[in-house]
């Protein structure tokens, strides 16, 4: 796998494709269960949205960490 595909954007696009496939398959195979899967998808989407907001507000620390920081009590 290329390192350029290891991004949050690539992850988000892949998740959207997988969810689209799941919803199409459920709608085709078992339409009465589609409502349940849409509710589960909505819950996942809320979690994804909150994680996306958190990533923009609190970006990850720089690689290598803070200089002079200790790993913990000795």
pLDDT of 67 strictly over 70: no
DSSP letters for 25-73: HHHHH-GGGHHHHHHHHHHHHHHHHHHHHHHHHSPPPPTT--TT--SS-
Whole-Å CA distances, 54 to 24, 48, 64: 30, 10, 21
Contacts of 12 (CB under 8 A, 6+ apart): 48, 52
| Residue boundaries of the structural domains of the chain | 3-57
- This prediction has a pTM of 0.70
Q: Summarize pLDDT for 6-52 with one digit per residue, the tens.
A: 888 899 999 999 999 999 999 999 999 999 999 999 999 999 999 99
Mean pLDDT calculated for residue range 56-61: 84
């Amino acid at each position: 796998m290329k390192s350029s595909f290891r991004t949050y954007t690539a992850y988000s696009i892949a998740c959207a494709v997988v969810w689209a496939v799941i919803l199409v398959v459920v709608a085709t195979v078992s339409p009465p269960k589609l409502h349940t899967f849409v509710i589960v998808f909505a819950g996942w989407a809320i979690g994804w949205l909150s994680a996306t907001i958190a990533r923009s507000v609190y970006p990850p620390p720089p690689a290598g960490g803070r200089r002079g920081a200790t790993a913990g009590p000795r």
